[in-house]
Amino acid sequence: MTKKLKKKLCLIGSFGVGKTILVSKYVKGIFSEKYLSTVGVMISQKTVEIGDCEVLLMVWDLAGEDDFQGLRLSFIKGASGVLFVADGTRAETLRLTQQHMERLGEFYSDIPTLLLLNKADLQDQWDIAEAHLDEVRGKVKVFRTSAKTGENVEEAFVRITEMMIAPDEPTTEAFL
Amino acid sequence: MPPDSPQPFSDESVREGAAGSLDSVLAALDYLVLEAVEDASLRVRGAVPDWFESIYGGGIDVALAESPFLTCFVKEVARPLWKEAPTVPVRSGIWTEAVPDASGNELTELHLEAIAMHGANGAGLLVIQFMGRRFEEIQMLTQRANEKALEHRQLSREVQKKDVLLRCIVHDLNNPLGAVLLNLELLATSDDEQVKAAASLALEAARRQRSLIKSITEVFSSDLSRLSRNRGSAEVVGEFVRGGEYVVNMHLNQALRRSVSILLEDGLTGVVAGERKVIGELEPFVRAVENLVLNALRYAPRDSVVIVRLLALDEGMQVQVEDAGPGVEPELVGGLFDPFTQGTTNRGAMGLGLYFCRMTVEQWGGSIVYEQASGGGARFVFTLPWAGDASQHNYET
Ligand SMILES: Nc1nc2c(ncn2[C@@H]2O[C@H](COP(=O)(O)OP(=O)(O)OP(=O)(O)O)[C@@H](O)[C@H]2O)c(=O)[nH]1
Ligand SMILES: [Mg+2]
């Protein structure tokens, strides 16, 4: 018998790191070179099958703010998981992510999180020091992704969904 | 909530009338007003705006069922707010959702914002606004601001890259030239007239080449030109202390956010005469110290201290920047101050920052080294010579 669940997943990160395109790639299989800034939050849905679970994933793609104070905590209420997204060609977006993680930790310390270091296809513009990455790896699991090539995109979304429905996760609620 | 004592009939009807016309104004402005009723459901108050009718013909229950955002906002924000005593309204922020169009097939994007608040009678109200054209305006402004910021970043990075490249070229061209000039000068004092004449010619050419290199850097480089023009200029010690204070104060807040404190240990004031001069210039000095401090902050663990230390040594003024982080891995120390470190691009911006420090300090005849701090953290140490030391007047390399 399949179990049906409904889960809210938030994407958080500086502007232009590729949150919207990652969602588009995962949900619709579409990559676009064009940058269209998100305003507020954009919501899409996708059904993911994990084992005998059918999870209706509500993906909340939050507009990037460059100031970590601007993180809208009210958008995160009720979330079962968070994907932090940083741009591998801009080290400052990873630094902002670290601040976001700290801030989120103050309020929602038990939500599962992953970090996507996006634009992995742009190796010649890579801007992340290994030492910097090591420091981050100590706090969160990191996926190197590319919305352009699709590298690790599906894997990251599936992984976070698995973490969100883990049996010891108390906020699981049934739908339908 | 009904009032305790019955209101005079006329007042009530006046109020209803006023409320009725207000409702139609709100609907005309594309606002949908919902009221929380006793059984925890939501009831439309007043007129239903067209957009809502065309998208959620079935009413608010359909909207709630189809809109994850609205469901979440009502549950997580509005209901908790309504339970409290009346307070300031809470805005949801703009959200975008795809909804089926009138034919029920094609998905169109809908942009809305909701406000949770209390009505005059204390009842919970939910106001939903259709963003329409305003969304496009806000989107355009956001987009422009973001694109400008990205462009600016791209551009300053290009400039920085160009400067570094130029420095490398200048450095490599200048390096052997110092030795060439020294030796030609020696030869030009030869007793052999032929050698002397040839050496003088070569010396002249070499000097011309040196000034050519200088002028290239002055024309093309944004940083280096200023540095080379001011080579050998000196500044009183007190100014450098001010520079150190400036850097520390500039980054206090940023550090505090990460529970790191920055401390300035001033070993100059009161130790050396305030009018004693050091070879160097304030602005590049500040940038060099700032580079080191930013670097230290990046690696400093929570609740630790970054120390900026100013010392007076026999050979000059020393600046130390120390953190309690993991230090630099031994295999990286060798190339720490090189640009584009060791062929890997992985050290990123850090490689450039330290290279800038080295170039700055060396331009003034100083030196910079890395040491491991006593606790294992990183300590960057640079020394600038006191002005007036005769040993500093060789050809710069
Ligand atoms: N080369 C490459 N480009 C990418 C990748 N992911 C995103 N981009 C590009 O990065 C730009 C920004 O992507 P978005 O997804 O719109 O960025 P965002 O994080 O949603 O930005 P905001 O909505 O402003 O917060 C677009 O031009 C994308 O084409 C990637 O993996 N590789
Ligand atoms: Mg976006």
Residue B225 confidence (pLDDT): 43
User: Among A11, A19, A21, A145, which residue has the most ligand 1 atoms within 8 Å of its CB, making it the best to mutate?
Assistant: A21
Q: From the CB of A38, is ligand 1 less than 6 Å away?
A: yes
Residue B219 confidence (pLDDT): 59
Q: Examine the pLDDT at B2 and tell me if it is beyond 90.
A: no
Residue B107 confidence (pLDDT): 80
Among partner residues A16, A42, A127, which is closest to B96 by beta-carbon distance?
A42
Mean pLDDT of A63-81: 80
Q: Which residues of A touch B258 (CB under 8 A)?
A: 99, 102
- Architecture of the domain made up of B231-397: 2-Layer Sandwich (3.30)
Q: Examine the pLDDT at B296 and tell me if it is beyond 50.
A: yes
B250 Cβ under 8 Å from any chain A Cβ = no
Q: Examine the pLDDT at B349 and tell me if it is beyond 50.
A: no
The residue that leads in pLDDT, B156 or B81, is B81
Residue B105 confidence (pLDDT): 72
Local confidence band at B268 (pLDDT 50, 70, 90 cut-offs): very high
Among partner residues B72, B94, B298, which is closest to A8 by beta-carbon distance?
B72
- On whether the CB atoms of residues B322 and B377 are closer than 8 A, the answer is yes
- On whether the CB atoms of residues A166 and A5 are closer than 8 A, the answer is no
Kindly state the DSSP code that residue B223 receives in the 8-state scheme.
T
C-alpha–C-alpha distance, residues A102 and B108, integer Å: 36
- On whether the CB atoms of residues A118 and A17 are closer than 8 A, the answer is yes
The residue that leads in pLDDT, B239 or B353, is B239
Interface contact flag, B346 A99, Cβ < 8 Å: no
Among partner residues A41, A74, A91, which is closest to B349 by beta-carbon distance?
A91
Q: What is the number of the ligand closest to the CA of A88?
A: 1
Mean pLDDT of B82-86: 91
Place of tokens 């000059």: B316
The residue that leads in pLDDT, A72 or B183, is B183
The residue whose CA is least distant from atom 1 of ligand 1 is A119
The residue that leads in pLDDT, B106 or B202, is B202
Q: What is the DSSP string of B291-344?
A: HHHHHHHHHPPTT-EEEEEEEE-SSEEEEEEE--S----HHHHTTTTSSSGGG-
Q: Examine the pLDDT at A168 and tell me if it is beyond 80.
A: no
Residue A98 confidence (pLDDT): 92
| CA of A15 relative to ligand 1 center, distance in Å | 8
B350 Cβ under 8 Å from any chain A Cβ = yes
**Which residues of A lie closer than 8 Å to B, measured between beta carbons?**
8, 15-16, 35-45, 58, 60, 63-64, 66, 72, 74-75, 77-78, 90-91, 95, 99, 102, 124, 126-132, 135
C-alpha–C-alpha distance, residues B329 and B350, integer Å: 14
C-alpha–C-alpha distance, residues B333 and A125, integer Å: 24
Which tens digit of pLDDT belongs to each residue from B352-383? 678 778 888 888 889 999 999 998 899 999 99
Residue B267 confidence (pLDDT): 94
C-alpha–C-alpha distance, residues A144 and A156, integer Å: 9
The residue that leads in pLDDT, B7 or B190, is B190
Mean pLDDT of B334-355: 57
Q: From the CB of A66, is ligand 1 less than 6 Å away?
A: no
Q: Label the pairing between strands A41-50 and A81-87.
A: unpaired
Kindly state the DSSP code that residue B270 receives in the 8-state scheme.
T
Residue A154 confidence (pLDDT): 96
- Architecture of the domain made up of B11-130: 2-Layer Sandwich (3.30)
C-alpha–C-alpha distance, residues A94 and A100, integer Å: 10
Winning range, highest mean pLDDT, from B197-206, B222-231, B330-339: B197-206
Residue A127 confidence (pLDDT): 87
Mean pLDDT of chain B: 82
Residue B221 confidence (pLDDT): 57
Local confidence band at A175 (pLDDT 50, 70, 90 cut-offs): very low
Residue B392 confidence (pLDDT): 42
H-helix or E-strand spanning residue B205: helix B193-220
C-alpha–C-alpha distance, residues B174 and B338, integer Å: 17
Q: CA nearest B143 in A: which residue?
A: A37
CATH code for A3-165?
3.40.50.300
Choose the weakest-confidence range: A20-24, B44-48, B88-92.
B44-48
Q: From the CB of A124, is ligand 1 less than 6 Å away?
A: no
Among partner residues A16, A43, A130, which is closest to B96 by beta-carbon distance?
A43
- Whole-model pTM: value is 0.65
Q: Among A12, A24, A37, A175, pick the best mutation site for testing chain B contact (most B Cβ within 10 A).
A: A37
Give the residue from B191, B306, B177 showing the smallest Cα distance to B254.
B306
